Amino acid sequence: MKLRNLLLVVLNVGVFAQFSQCEEIISERFMNGKVFYHVKNNSKDFITDSFGDDVTIKWFNQTLDHFSPSDTRTWLQRYYVNDAFYKPGGPIFLMIGGEGEATQKWMTAGAWINYAKHLNALCFQVEHRFYGKSKPTDDLSVKNLRFLSSEQALADLATFTVAMKEQYNFTTNKWVAFGGSYPGSLAAWYRMKYPHLVDVAVSTSAPLIAQLDFKEYLGVVVDSLNQKSPKCVGEISKAVKSMEGLLKRRTGWWMIKKSFKLCDDFDGTNAKDIASFFETVAGNFMDIVQYNEDNRGFEGSKTANITIDTLCNIMTTNLEEKTAFERYADVNDLMLSVFDKNCTDFKYSKTVDDMQKEKWDSPSASGERQWTYQTCTEFGFYQSSDLDGQPFGTEFPVKFSTRQCQDVYGIQFDENFISSAIRWTNANYGGKKLKVSKVIFVNGSIDPWHKLGITSQNETSSDNVVIFIEGTAHCANMYPDSSNDLPQLRAARMSISIIEGIGITRGRLIHGKYFGPVNETSTLPKGINDERIEIGWISQPLDHFNKHDNRTWNQKFATNNTFFRAGGPACIVIGGESPMDPRWIVFGQMVNYCQQLNGVIYMLEHRFYGESTPTPDATVESLKYLTVGQALEDLAKFIKYVKSNEIHEVILFGGSYAGTLAAYFRQKFPNFSHISLASSGPIQWKYDFKEYMEVVGTVLKQYGSCYDIVKSGMEEMENIISSAKNESKPVNDFLSPLTLCEDLYAKNTRDVSNFYASISSVFSYYVQYNVDHSAQLSVREICEYATNARSNRSQSNFQILANLINLMNKNMDEECIEVSNDDFCNFISQTSWEDDAVKYGARVWNWQVCNELGAFQTTNSNKQPFVGVTTQLYVNQCQCAFGKKFTEKYIQNAVRGHNLIYGEFKVPRYRVIYTNGVNDPWSKLGVLSLQQIHQISTTTSSPNGNCVILIKGH
């Protein structure tokens, strides 16, 4: 069943200045924390153009002043559309433009395009007023720039959204706003100010606090340089001190001019020129740190291949041949050569002259004049040299930037004016305390802008999600993937695609397991990024049982050592049939246990799930390395690694299939761990797990006539379908008010069986996850609806059942019941790690079920209310996904062989705590009493004892 939980997938927004194929970047300037490109522009204004059949430039008639009803002037705002992936009902992605030109390149590349492909989204990109070709006024005079503000920009987005909803008839589609850097701020503020227009916002590298003196910026630059090369910072400090010494004499001025290839004579008595020069050469490092190793080369950036390592290598090599001052100048030479420039512009008066130009064809109209105006009237954000201890000198204090506001825009733009504007911005939007929901805040540790953003879940509501990526820079997660991406960056991109509670993606309930994003009502706090979590990787053999196979792969694990004290144990959470969720080592009862024991907590991701990908794909040839035996060997090797860190005792925790592994491990490797907690773990696997639906039926019987209503309704439904077997038309109308995703023909037995399986899966989902609140509706509420409807006597049992199914689907943001068996087969036949079936584990778990475990939830028992689901449905699906050899006999033998190896209840496993809930359907395959298992003792006080805990009502 598709579970269209409003679960955010996301992310990406066009980073600031972006340029199309008809523009050539001829220079780049780093100013006020932003890169501004000067381009050779061959394009024309106000032309509707197409880039292939899918991407089109269009123009929207926008209001000039949204806050003055009497002002009816309008202007043309540029936007892009890409409908290549869109299917009716899909989400609408709105990329918010920022302080630079919006371009076509972001309409066909970047992480958000990958998400759009998977989600069938329509993509808009809206250019920000006063940037690029979106020119609301005749010029950039101060009189006209009063119409440039974040509030006007947000109102532009609102007006645009309303218009597009009407134009395209987007009545029920979910809208997701994307933004990076300043547009990231706009994305969060848009969701806050206009929550009725946008369902989700993704706020990447977004400064949320306006601040006059952003001196902390250089602090992050220094920290980032230190991480790469502590010696680098010291050499910069030496160079700057030499420069400061050279200011004291005219020969020093000449040396500075010559060494740094200045375009004009240097006057060591001109404070503004000194400040401009020191800021310019410091900007060489600020620029590279902010965008370090971002995959922005596809935009055309000429500095994309220059990294922190590049600059620090220059500063820390040739120490005998060159002084630190000379090496600092060499860094400047590198930056000049990248843009084929002969000299360094530093003259303050020239900068001001350029910035004062008001015409659209002036160089500063590429963004400098506009963005600086916004800093002077809303944000500040001035990266000053006022921070103690940083190596770039003290020559460009905040007053240098505030004075520039006056010199460029007028004397009234003094520090008091700017400070007052900043106070209003923070009062208007709330800074980090903004009252907003359904926003993902993403930041990187190397990006200096993270200091003004939300980087911890503690800073915002649990209705939002915080992702903080160690080792990455500005908007890193937004760019296209690269083979050089850090593992944590890849993990962040994936976690963004499955973040719970906000967004749109698909999941499926298959063989009693949910595959897809975590359910939005999970009891765990939202957000996987916690300062207590460290991500690591361990090299594992591909095949533990073939010593001649030397191939290896990297398995992901997470660590929380917050509570660890010498002598404490290692508490290992075993990963199961889904991507690893590191929150399990931060929150929950297991964490409480381990805290009391002063233990270190680990979580090991299961091979072939999440990012633990041993092979290039998930073809049958690759999946042969996915077995329970291989997984146990992985765990054994990981425990050896853990014990090498002076850990003596190991406690294992596992739930569901991972609970099975926890019990099996004590059997196969009794000397590797001290005890296992196996929660809801099947021990005796079955080919035909008909008892699963029996438990579902038993739970329904606990609520009045609920069971009878469902059973009678299913029988009526079966009669409706059976009576139409000779019909040439679909039976959808006869099944009204039940909503089906596709046409159902009664003579198509596989589709009919798949349809029945989809219905029983809905009920089993609510029963299986009832007590842990993964489902928003409880079984009690579902059954109350059914019994109340029956008491009215105005509907048949089938109609009550149909309405009940629609209610449960709506609760999961699901529109219809799946019918097509072919569609399901196509889904689980996907083999790329980027495909949803593989990424979320559906194909991988199906392989384990078909190849080893069985556990097909059929309706073969007369002690349950559902119909029409036999083992043959699952055998057919195994064959379509993995090949014809997966016959009924093959799968039966596989399950029999598995039970033979691991012994079901007959094999001694010492010091295992088995916990199960009576109302959990999987309990029927688990240990429910000590009498079922071979034991030495019936109490946990015995050193070899086992314990069984059976929880009623769960």
pLDDT tens by residue, 624-668: 999 999 999 999 999 999 887 778 799 999 999 999 999 999 989
d(CA 650, CA 568): 9
The ranges assigned to domains in the chain are: 54-208+430-506, 219-427, 541-684+905-953, 690-902
Q: Looking at residues 223-230, what average pLDDT do you find? A: 88
Q: What is the pLDDT, as a whole number, of residue 510?
A: 61
Given this model, what pLDDT does residue 787 score?
87
DSSP tag of 948 = E
When comparing pLDDT for 519 and 473, which is higher?
473
C-alpha torsion 303→309→311→315, nearest 10: -170
Mean pLDDT value across the chain = 85
What span, in angstroms and rounded, lies between the C-alpha atoms of 705 and 231? 76
Q: Report which listed range, 7-16, 166-175, 294-303, 323-332, is most confident.
A: 323-332
Work out the widest C-alpha separation in the chain, in whole angstroms: 102
Task: Report, as an integer, the average pLDDT of 406-411.
Answer: 97
Say yes or no to pLDDT of 939 above 60. Answer: no
The pLDDT of residue 933 is 65
pLDDT value at 324 more than 90: yes
Question: 146 or 230, which is more confident?
Answer: 146
232 DSSP 8-state letter? H
Cβ atoms of 155 and 66 closer than 8 Å: yes
Residue that wins the pLDDT comparison between 649 and 3: 649
Whether residue 48 has pLDDT greater than 50 = no
Is the confidence at residue 7, as pLDDT, over 90?
Answer: no
| CATH of range 54-208+430-506; options 3.30.365.10, 2.60.120.10, 3.40.50.2020, 3.40.50.1820 | 3.40.50.1820
Residue 388 annotated among the catalytic residues of the structure = no
pLDDT at 520 (0 to 100) = 33
Q: What is the pLDDT of residue 589?
A: 73
DSSP output for 249-287: SHHHHHHHHHHTTBSS---TT-HHHHHHHHHHHHHHHHH
- Give 19's pLDDT tier (boundaries 50, 70, 90): very low
**Of residues 843 and 500, more confidently modeled:** 843
Return d(Cα 119, Cα 506) in angstroms, integer.
8
- Looking at residue 524, what is its pLDDT? 34
Q: In the predicted model, what is the mean pLDDT of residues 874-880?
A: 96
Q: Which of 38, 474, 544, 898 is catalytic?
A: 474
> Position of tokens 């048949």?
796
User: What pLDDT score does 652 carry?
Assistant: 94
Residue 748 has pLDDT above 90, yes or no: yes
- Per DSSP, which regions of 83-121 are E strands? 92-96
With cut-offs at 50, 70 and 90, classify the pLDDT of residue 27.
very low
List the helix and strand counts (H, then E) for the chain.
29, 23
Residues 787-823 have pLDDT tens digits of 888 877 778 899 999 988 888 887 776 778 889 999 9
Residue 5 pLDDT > 50: no
Give residues with Cβ within 8 angstroms of 681, minimum separation 6: 654, 655, 656, 657, 658, 659, 660, 661, 662, 663, 914, 926
What is the topology classification, in CATH, of domain 690-902? Four Helix Bundle (Hemerythrin (Met), subunit A) (1.20.120)
Catalytic residue among 156, 287, 447, 836: 447
pLDDT at residue 526 greater than cutoff 60:
no
Under CATH, which number does the domain 541-684+905-953 receive? 3.40.50.1820
Report whether 607 contacts 579 (CB < 8 A): no
Which DSSP category does 299 fall into? G
In whole angstroms, give the CA distance from residue 17 to residue 899: 61
Q: Using one digit for the tens of pLDDT, what is the confidence trace for 330-366?
A: 999 999 998 889 999 999 999 999 999 999 999 999 9
What's residue 644's pLDDT?
Answer: 76
pLDDT confidence band for 530 (50 / 70 / 90): low
Residue 562 has pLDDT above 50, yes or no: yes
Sequence-ordered list of residues with C-beta below 8 angstroms from that of 744, at least 6 positions apart, any chain: 721, 730, 731, 732, 735, 751, 752, 755, 819
Q: 3-class SS at 116?
A: helix
Q: How many beta carbons lie within 10 A of that of residue 948, not counting itself?
A: 19
* Residue 789, pLDDT score: 82
Question: Has residue 450 got a pLDDT over 60?
Answer: yes
User: The pTM is what?
Assistant: 0.56
What is the distance between the alpha carbons of residues 271 and 220, in angstroms, rounded to a whole number?
A: 26
Residues 6+ apart with CB under 8 A from 70: none
Residue 474 annotated to the active site: yes
For the residues 845-862, what does the mean pLDDT come to?
95
Label the pairing between strands 552-560 and 600-604.
antiparallel
Distance CA 497, CA 516 (A): 10
Coil vs helix vs strand at 834: coil
> Rounded to an integer, what distance in angstroms lies between the CA atom of residue 7 and that of residue 518?
8
pLDDT of 135 reads 97
On the question of pLDDT at 777 being above 50, the answer is yes
On whether the CB atoms of residues 839 and 494 are closer than 8 A, the answer is yes
The contacts found for 643-646 with CB under 8 angstroms, 24 or more apart, are 643/570
Q: Among 732-736, 746-750, 934-938, where is mean pLDDT lowest? A: 934-938
Instruction: Examine the pLDDT at 527 and tell me if it is beyond 60.
Output: no
User: What pLDDT score was predicted for residue 407?
Assistant: 97
Q: What's the pLDDT score for residue 952? A: 54
Q: How far is CA 692 from the centre of its chain?
A: 34
- Indicate whether 50 pLDDT > 70: no
Tell me the CA end-to-end span of the chain in Å, nearest whole number: 24
Give yes or no on whether 54-208+430-506 and 541-684+905-953 have one common fold: yes
| The predicted structure's pLDDT at residue 104 | 86
pLDDT above 80 (res 940): no
Confidence grade of residue 581 (pLDDT, cut at 50, 70, 90) = confident
Residue 890 has pLDDT above 70, yes or no: yes
Q: Is 66 a catalytic residue?
A: no
Mean pLDDT of 399-423: 97
- The mean per-residue pLDDT over the stretch 920-949 comes to 63
Percentage of residues of the chain with pLDDT beyond 90: 60
Residue 695's pLDDT is what? 94
Active-site choice (149, 150, 181, 301): 181
Torsion of CA 862, 866, 867, 870, to 10 degrees: -80
pLDDT band at residue 832 using 50, 70 and 90 as cut-offs: very high
pLDDT (0 to 100) of residue 457: 81
- What is the pLDDT at residue 339? 82
In SS3 terms, 395-438 reads as CCCHHHHHHHHHHHHCCCCCHHHHHHHHHHHHHHHCHHHCCCCC
Query: Is the bond leading into 737 cis (omega within 30 degrees of zero)?
Result: yes
Q: How many residues does the chain have?
A: 954
